Chains A and B, each alone.
Chain A
Amino acid sequence: MVDAVHVALAGNPNAGKTTLFNYLTGARQHVGNYPGVTVEKKEGGYLYEGQKIRIVDLPGTYSLTAYSVEELVARDYLVNEQPDVVVNIVDASNLERNLYLSCQFLELGVPLVIALNMIDVAEKRGIRIDTEKLSLLTGVPVVPIIARTGKGVEKLLETVQAVSRADARPQTLIRYGVDIDEALRELVPVIEKHELLIETYPASWTALKILENDEQVVAKIMLKNMDIGQRLIDRSEVLARHLQDTLEAYPETVIADHRYGFVRSILRQGEVTRVTEQDRLYASEQIDKVVTNRVVGPLLMAAVLLGLYSFTFSWSGFLVDWLGMFFDLLGGLTETILPDGPVKSMIVSGVIDGVGGVLGFVPIIMFMFFGIAVLEDSGYLARVAFMMDKIFHFFGLHGSSVMPFIISGGIAGGCAVPGVLAARTLRSPKERMATLLTVPFMNCGAKLPVLTLIIAAFFPNHQARYMFLATLIAWLVALMAAKFLRMTLLRGESTPFVMELPPYRVPTGKGLLIHTWERTWQYVKKAGTVILGISILLWAMMTYPGLPSEKVAEFEAMRQQVAASGSTDGTTALLRIDQLEAGVGLRHSIAGRMGMALEPISRFAGFDWRTNIALVGGFAAKEVIVSTLGTAYSLGAVDSENTTSLKDRLAGDRHWNPIAALAFLAFIMFYSPCFVTVVAIAKEAGSWKWAFFSMGFNTIFAFGMAVGIFQLGTLLGLG
């Protein structure tokens, strides 16, 4: 058998790339990253007439410039990996813009097949396309398909197979006007003569990129041959000056305009009819008239976000209760089965309490992700970006920052890790950085259990209101911080808001379930692996070193005394002794010593040493705060009589009051991101400097806030 044929899928976002990819590969997919960058790389395979086909889904792009990571990744992949066939998915109902990208594949000279997708939608809109003519004019095979239903895919595979065997590279037929064509004619022989980059790029492409002043290509040339490189650049500058004088235009825009000219000439000849071009009001525009209306739009948006809240918190309630009961049961069972000792203590206090505390909130997160998936898949989230851009732009961000913010917990319950990753779509490094650094302020799903616990314990009558308030404050703080960063460390120009609003779609059940499942699973995986390890580590830190033997003997003597006295409430007395011993034990442990050492400082914010232990643990992952508090308060107190939940324990504890609780809430919301997020920031920002900055900056800021709340509240006697 021959080696697998290597196929790359490329095209505009929303052109149906992923649909076709899923159709072809089914479950045989592998998701990873492109080396060095964090753009998702999807790979899969299928068999066609016994031939193995390896297929790679390239990131969706509108162009192949050097301006965004996705575009660089896509074009680097095409030149470095040299796929046998590139399948260019083209949205048939929007040929003009889609073929603009096809032009650039032609320029690059890759073996191309154009898959004309959504031919049915185009026909419904009155666009009829002569595919044979289109194929003739572009010089590459064109196959009409409907990726959703799989219609035409068989023919596409056949064509791909044929092209992979033919090994023919298309010639570009595009002309760029007299001036540029002339410059190209001069540059190409120089590039060929000095063999500049010819092993990877066609000389004509390199010449074109020099004229476009493409940073990456120019840098590569200069690295290869400084003198010749300078000569090429000089020639390019002559052209630029000439175009500026005659046309008042830049070379790159003249080139772009000529690509469009080429596309239009093709369309004039290949596209037969376009019936209802005028007044073609799609359902989307009608919906938009209401949804983005000046008055109704914002109200609707607020209603939708609030609706998502109720949906997440009320509807998931029964599942949360079930899980809680399950873990109680599991804890009780383990309690009776295992003999007393360190193993039992570890399993009950470290494993079951820790993981149970996290998994107990899975239903909330699942419902939340489902809600977000509905908004995302229906196209509404893009409208939120559209409506919010004015505000975000004011704070030095971009309407597209809404996505990372919402995913991170803008609607409480996301996660900063995917949120940080979602910031990739931002083009300007500065807005991206500002977004990266401020999204951890949002109330992620891991903070939710902590916030919920504290709010339920101290403000039981206003739970929904406090949760909503917490979200608003998170937004406000994050935006102010972004503005601050964009005015100081990250000063610079803003990124364009030239983007596409996808048409409204009814989300498919399958798509929603996949989205919900993927994100929830990500959370569970984190809970199951990192959290379990941390939970056990913390248990160990809170257990060891154990009390010295004379102390243990002291407590034992006290127990003997109670037993000897034979009093009626002996059980209660024994329990008291157990709790006392546990308390002393915890204080004696590593964690206790750390918490105590920090207490003189944390005292200003109203945090005692137990809280400190939990907060230190929270750096590992915010949900650990709950399990650590749980462990800190339940260690030793493992009596079947004692079923009071952590919430009631806190509410009844003398170290806690509403003011201390508020200070605690503020600190949790804004202090250092968990280490997983910190790692993500380091990777996305490309340096650890920013990751450490976010740890330090956030912690200092949060502490200041907590101290302020606690001191002011205490002064006013609100505690």
Chain B
Amino acid sequence: MNLRKMQTGQSGIIASVKIGGSLGLRMREMGLVPGTEITVTGRAPLYDPVKLRIHGQTLTLRNSEADYIEVDIKVETDSVEGKD
């Protein structure tokens, strides 16, 4: 699932970060690398940027930047949402 589409409270493992250049490096140096667990902890009042928990710290990024990140959503045991 694309990170932009994730709901607050949803968790998952980063599957891919499809961007290079300075933005790609910036994401990596802040810890956004495949295999890392992230949880969406909230969004700004205007719905952008998004706030993540990663490695026990809080990170922010814009929706347009979240677009490059694909996440494997952790299936909650009590969740019935089987879409995507």
Residue numbers of A with Cβ under 8 A of B are 62-63, 65, 67, 93-94, 96-97, 100-101, 125, 248-250, 252-253, 256-257, 260, 264, 280, 284-285, 288-289, 292-295, 297-298, 386-387, 389-391, 393, 399, 427, 496-501, 503
CB closest residue in chain B, given A299: B45
Could you tell me if A253 and B65 are in contact, using CB atoms closer than 8 angstroms? no
A289-B42 contact in complex given A248-B18, A389-B48, A389-B49, C-beta closer than 8 Å = yes
Do B62 and A67 have beta carbons less than 8 Å apart? no
Contacts of B53 in A (CB 8 A): 285
Report the Cα distance A62→B59, complex, angstroms. Answer: 13
A294 surroundings in chain B (CB, below 8 A): 43, 45
Q: Which residue of chain B lies nearest to A393 when distances are taken between CB atoms in the complex? A: B62
Residues of A within 8 A of B28 (CB): 100, 253, 256-257, 260
Q: Are B24 and A97 in contact (CB under 8 A)?
A: no
A503: chain B residues at CB < 8 Å are 57-58
Other-chain residue from B26, B35, B59 in contact with A501 (beta carbon distance below 8 A): B59
Q: B45–A497 contact, CB under 8 A?
A: no
Report yes or no: B33 in contact with A260, Cβ–Cβ below 8 A: yes
Top 7 nearest A-B pairs (CB, nearest first) are A250-B20, A256-B28, A390-B46, A63-B29, A501-B58, A62-B29, A97-B31
CA–CA, A125 to B24, complex, Å? 30
Q: Smallest distance from the beta carbon of B67 to chain A beta carbons, Å? A: 12
Chain B residues in 8 Å Cβ range of A298: 45
Tell me the complex Cα distance, A294–B36, Å.
Answer: 28
Nearest B residue to A297 via CB reads B45
**B6 CB within 8 Å of chain A:** no
- Additional A-B contact list (7), CB under 8 Å, known A386-B49, A386-B60, A497-B65: A65-B22, A96-B36, A100-B31, A253-B25, A256-B33, A297-B44, A499-B30
Say yes or no: is B10 at the interface (Cβ < 8 Å to chain A): no
Q: Please, which residues of chain B bring their CB within 8 A of the CB of A253?
A: 17, 19-20, 24-25, 28
Given A289-B42, A497-B65: A63 in contact with B25 (beta carbons within 8 A): yes
8 Å CB contact of A498 from B30, B47, B55? B30
Q: Interface centre among B28, B43, B56, by most A CB within 10 Å? A: B56
Known contacts A389-B48, A391-B46, A496-B65: A96-B24 contact under CB 8 Å: no
Question: What is B's interface to A at a CB cutoff of 8 Å?
Answer: 17-36, 41-49, 51, 53, 55-62, 65
Instruction: Given A97-B31, A498-B30, check contact A284 B25 (CB 8 Å).
Output: no
Cβ–Cβ contact A387 & B45, under 8 A: yes
Which residue in A65, A280, A284, A500 is a CB contact (below 8 Å) of B30? A500
Across the interface, which residues of A come within 8 angstroms of B59, CB to CB?
A: 498-501
| A336 to B: closest C-beta gap in Å | 61
**Cβ contact within 8 Å between B42 and A62:** no
Sample (11) of A-B pairs whose CB atoms are under 8 Å apart: A65-B25, A97-B29, A100-B28, A249-B20, A252-B25, A253-B17, A260-B35, A391-B46, A496-B61, A498-B23, A501-B60
Contacts of B55 in A (CB 8 A): 94, 96-97
**Which residue on B lies nearest to A280, using beta carbons?**
B56
Q: Closest chain B residue to A100 by CB distance?
A: B29
Taken together as a complex, chains A and B put the C-alpha atoms of A461 and B64 apart, in Å, by 47
Docked Cα-Cα span, A249 to B35, in Å, equals 16
Distance in angstroms from A465 CB to nearest chain B CB is 26
CB distance from A237 to the nearest CB of B (A): 14
Given contacts A253-B17, A292-B51, contact A67 B56 (CB under 8 A): no
The smallest C-beta distance from B34 to any residue of chain A, in angstroms, reads 7
Residue of A with least CB distance to B24 = A253
A104 to B41, CA, bound (A): 30
- What residue in chain B is nearest A252 (Cβ atoms)? B25
- B49 near A288 with CB under 8 A, answer no
How far is A399 from B45 in the complex, measured between Cα atoms in Å?
A: 13
Given the contacts A253-B20, A256-B25, A498-B59, A293 and B34 also touching, CB distance less than 8 Å? no
By the criterion CB–CB under 8 Å, are B58 and A292 in contact? no
A481 to B30, CA, bound (A): 32
Asked whether, in the complex, the Cβ of A498 is within 8 Å of the Cβ of B60, the reply is yes
Give Cα A389 to B63, complex, Å: 11
B42 to chain A, nearest CB (A): 6
In the complex, chain B residues whose CB is within 8 Å of the CB of A288: 41-42, 51, 58
Instruction: Contact check, B56 vs A93: say whether CB atoms are below 8 A apart.
Output: yes
Contact B56 A498 (CB under 8 A): no
Residues in A with CB closer than 8 Å to B60 are 386, 389, 399, 497-501
- Give A256 to B31 CA distance when docked, in angstroms: 10
- With A250-B20, A256-B25 known to touch, is A96 a contact of B45 (CB < 8 Å)? no
In the complex the two chains form, is A390's CB within 8 Å of B44's CB? Answer: yes
Q: A249-B20, A288-B51 are in contact. Are A500 and B29 (CB under 8 A)?
A: no
Q: CA A257 – CA B45 in complex, angstroms?
A: 33
Please state if B20 and A284 are interface contacts (CB–CB under 8 Å): no
Is the pair B34, A257 in contact by a Cβ cutoff of 8 Å? Answer: yes
B24, A250: Cβ atoms closer than 8 Å? yes
Residues of A contacting B19 with CB < 8 Å?
253
Q: How far is the CA of A497 from the CA of B65 in the complex (A)?
A: 8
Q: Taking A500-B58, A501-B58 as contacts, is the C-beta distance between A67 and B22 under 8 angstroms? A: yes
Q: What's the minimum C-beta distance from A542 to chain B, rounded to whole angstroms? A: 52
* A496 and B65 alpha carbons, distance in the complex (Å): 7
Contact yes or no, B24 A497, CB < 8 A: no
